[in-house]
Structure 1
Amino acid sequence: MKIRAGFHLGYECERPTPMLLVLNIHPSRRADLLTEQTLSFDRPIEAWGYIDGFGNACSRIVAPAGLTTITTEFEIYDGGLPDPIPQNAFQHEIKDLPDDVLVYLLGSRYCDTDLLADFAWKRFSSTPLGWPRVRTILDFAHNHIKFDYKKADPLRTASGGYTDRVGVCRDFAHLAITLCRCMNVPARYCTGYLGDIGVPKDPNPMDFSAWFEVYLGGHWHTVDARHNTPRIGRILMATGRDATDVALTTAFGSAKLSRFEVKTEEAPGT
């Protein structure tokens, strides 16, 4: 399967503003590219790339005063299969986890494990270890939060999502990630493209999507508390502890988002 994806993002700056961009696809997917995936700017801007501490391909720029539009368009190969379900994946003892995985058991900016740990142990301690426990947490988060674009709140934490019971894909992810960490299952936040492939078309405007991964049986496995069903055609952009680490843009000054268009769809004839 061939997927065509990309975006047009516009930022209005009052003065020259340094920005960090996490807008490239993840290095793990670059081998699947059928065309180049590069960032383009509608004004002369110097951009330089780097790999952050989580392995994401990032860029640094200084956006000039006024409106700057950032774009990318590309085609990528996808196997066309739904996310695999790790039915028999086991849960590691903490002492057996790789050193670099341990950070995904800790609380973070949006995953406030200290506020949800007591609830998590009361609710999930009787579930079987490994995938059955993760499955139960996914079901809980999926049913506990109502999806509503109008109720998006960039300051809402996992405990806030638990209390408010409403939010967008990042809120589903933050709540489920936090509950997994409380139950000693490493979990990391993911962001990327997810089109309406193999499912009814969503009438809302296309957006980037948030899901997460759990570490079971020596591997990271894709899971999604919002949709709570395997999906086709995910294109990973970045992973991190929570939404802070994978923010599309981080501006060190005023930068107003004035244009936001995302596209991801199966290319015709594939």
Structure 2
Amino acid sequence: MKLFAGCELIYDVPAPAPVVLMLRPRSGAGQWIISEEYEIEPHTPVVEYTDTYGNLCQRLVAPAGPFKIRISLTAETADAIDVAPGAPYVPVQDLPDDTLQFLLPSRYCQSDRLGPQALDITAGAIPGYDQVEAIRSWIQAHITYQYGTSDATTSAVDTAEKRMGVCRDFAHLGIALCRSMSIPARMVVGYLYQLDPMDLHAWFEAFIDGRWYTFDATQKEPRGNRIVVAYGRDAADVALATQYGPMTLQGMRVWVEEKK
């Protein structure tokens, strides 16, 4: 499906503040970026670089006063995500070097504290894809999706204890449980067609049988028509805007529409 998607961020900036933005998706598996438009008001010099996870990042200094960022894009997306029941687990010694970092505990994904729970959830599952699907299914069934129940400090352990959260929390828990089973897992942020309510979305991917597979514990069934914006170990690596000075978000709008 061809999608028209984007977001608009409006800030109040009391004094010039350095910012790193992560808003530009790249073409890749399941998506082709046909066109995009990036607007910053007032005009500000921008330097772009690629981070260690392959994400496109934009560095700038936001000037004092009202500051608006708007990105819109058209992308061709896959209508379905790949599923592979029975796909085998990859032993750690056989994993590609660049996946090993996604086995380690991280700020929001304390995999070293969730091993016993992961074993309970995956009991009887074939090692590999079926274990991750058991984790995804358990989160979808046992964690309540509810706004206002978590914040920027909430971790996977917190979510496992409170049994509620939002997409970011669902992804963190899935990642931590996978890593505790020695399955590489990474955070993904982007757009999902017909997400309700509409917002930027988070899910996770796990490395199985030599490739990455998509898992989204907020959804009952596999859904395609996604646009990936960024990958990382957890939310700390995929913030849409990282500010190094006072800036207050005054408004945010996100849209994902089918483009005929």
Quote how far apart the aligned CAs of 1:30 are: 11
Between the aligned partners of 1:51 and 1:118, the Cα distance in structure 2 is 37
Query: Using the alignment, how far apart are the partners of 1:208 and 1:11 within structure 2?
Result: 17
Note the 1:1-270 alignment, pairs <5 A.
Answer: 1-28=1-28, 32-35=32-35, 37-79=36-78, 81-196=79-194, 202=196, 204=197, 206-267=198-259, 269=260
Q: Contact 1:38/1:72 (CA < 8 Å) preserved in 2?
A: yes
Q: Are the counterparts in 2 of residues 27 and 57 from structure 1 also a CA contact under 8 Å?
A: no
For the aligned residues, what is the CA RMSD? Answer: 1.7
Native 8 Å contact 2:86 2:126 kept in 1? no
For the residues of structure 2 that align with 1:138 and 1:94, how far apart are their CA atoms? 21
In the alignment, residue 78 of structure 1 is paired with which amino acid?
A: T
Which string of whole-angstrom CA distances, capped at 9 and with x for unpartnered residues, describes residues 238-259 of structure 1? 0000011000000001111111
Distance 1:188 1:228, change over 3 A: farther
**1:194 to partner: Cα distance:** 0.6
3-state SS of paired residue (1:28): coil
1: CA distance, partners of 2:105 / 2:204 = 15
Distance 2:167 2:62 in 1: 29
Distance 1:31 1:148, change over 3 A: closer
* d(CA) in 1 for partners of 2:182, 2:124: 14
Separation of aligned partners in 1, 2:257 and 2:200: 12
Amino acid at match of 1:9: L
Moved more, 135-144 or 46-55: 135-144
**Pairwise CA distance, 1:111:** 0.2
Greater shift after overlay, 125-134 or 218-227?
Answer: 125-134
Q: Secondary structure at the match of 1:18?
A: strand
Q: In the aligned structure 2, how far is the partner of 1:253 from the partner of 1:126?
A: 50
CA distance in 2, matches of 1:78, 1:220: 17
In the alignment, residue 34 of structure 1 is paired with which amino acid?
A: I
Residues 5 and 74 in structure 1, CA contact (< 8 A), matched pair in contact too: yes
State the distance in 1 between where 2:77 and 2:26 align. Answer: 14
Cα distance, 1:125 vs structure 2: 4.9
Q: Which runs of 5+ in 1 are unaligned?
A: none
8 Å CA contact retained: 1:16, 1:63? yes
Length, aligned pairs only: 260
What is the TM-score normalised by the length of structure 2?
0.95
Query: Does the CA contact (< 8 Å) of 2:121 and 2:135 recur in 1?
Result: no
User: Which shifted more, 228-237 or 158-167?
Assistant: 228-237
Q: What SS is found at the alignment partner of 2:177?
A: helix
When normalised by structure 1's length, the TM-score is 0.91
Percent of aligned pairs with the same amino acid = 38
What amino acid is aligned across from residue 218 of structure 1 in structure 2?
A: G
Q: Secondary structure at the match of 1:149?
A: coil
Q: Secondary structure at the match of 2:108?
A: coil
Q: Distance in 2 between matches of 1:29 and 1:130?
A: 21
Q: CA deviation at 1:168?
A: 0.4
